[in-house]
Amino acid sequence: MRLRNITGSREMIAESRFVVHEPQEYKGKWRELFGSDHPLRIEIGMGKGRFIMDLARMHPEINYVGIEKYSSVLLRGIQKMETDPLPNLYFIRMEAEEITDVFGREEVDRIYLNFSDPWPKDRHAKRRLPSREFLKRYDEILSKDGVIEFKTDNHDLFRFALGELEPAGWRLLQMTEDLHHDEQMLSGNVMTEYEEKFSALGNPIYKYVIAR
Ligand code: SAH
């Protein structure tokens, strides 16, 4: 997701109390930052942040971190936090490839990937967030019984993601090729901005939940 480059968005992010500016300093210490030993869950590629903000509001007993690489998009989340601050949520502006510099071994309890960029060219497969290269990084930071939840409307990306599981040592816990018509998996579903947009166009939403 790329928005018009909003003038000053980097400066506004630099001043925001909702953003962790030197996230590497908290590696292994996120519980200290939040001031509680509640479970830590992260969304990689949060966009404007509606999903993670809804979750944080619904679950004060869980700590959340939303990660986004583009400041123009992240700014929208920050603006929403200014009118509705949530004590159990922080944002980071970063490239997800650096995730193991920011979270310690097994520090995270769940990872959400929602409508990740498809990177359709074969030579860009390593950049896909559900690729085996990324699964290896997640393996480092995720607790032993932790899970990854992935949603997309992109059929090719979903097929690719399923094919990455076995070679990377992950197993499928749950899967649907039409989330919005799957009663069991739909229960408790929190919609993302992209999910609302694409499901309104009639696209089926794919979802998996995986563990090691
Ligand atoms: N999760 C949101 C947005 C989906 S668009 C929703 O479902 O509505 C995908 C988002 O992921 C974009 O905002 C993009 O900038 C971000 N993103 C993609 N690759 C990323 C990466 N490697 N590191 C951090 N953010 C990334």
pLDDT digits (tens, 9 = 90+) for 148-163: 999 999 999 999 999 9
Q: Spell out the domain ranges in the chain.
A: 9-211
Q: What does the pLDDT look like over 48-86, one tens digit per residue?
A: 999 999 999 999 999 999 999 999 999 999 999 999 999
Contact call for residues 165 and 210 (beta carbons, < 8 A): yes
| Distance between CA atoms of residues 55 and 119, nearest Å | 27
Confidence of residue 1 (pLDDT cuts 50, 70, 90): low
Can you tell me which atom of ligand 1 is nearest the CA of 194? 8
Distance 27 CA to ligand 1 centre (A): 22
The pLDDT score that the predictor gives to residue 155 is 98
Average pLDDT, the chain: 95
3 pLDDT more than 60 = no
Q: What does the pLDDT look like over 23-39, one tens digit per residue?
A: 999 999 999 999 999 99
Distance 26 CA to ligand 1 centre (A): 22
pTM for this prediction: 0.96
- Of residues 54, 109, 117, 145, which has the active-site annotation? 117
The pLDDT score that the predictor gives to residue 12 is 84
Look up the CATH superfamily of 9-211. Answer: Vaccinia Virus protein VP39 (3.40.50.150)
| Distance between CA atoms of residues 149 and 161, nearest Å | 12
| Distance between CA atoms of residues 2 and 199, nearest Å | 20
Residue among 64, 70, 203 whose CB has most ligand 1 atoms within 8 A, to mutate: 70
| 101 has catalytic annotation | no
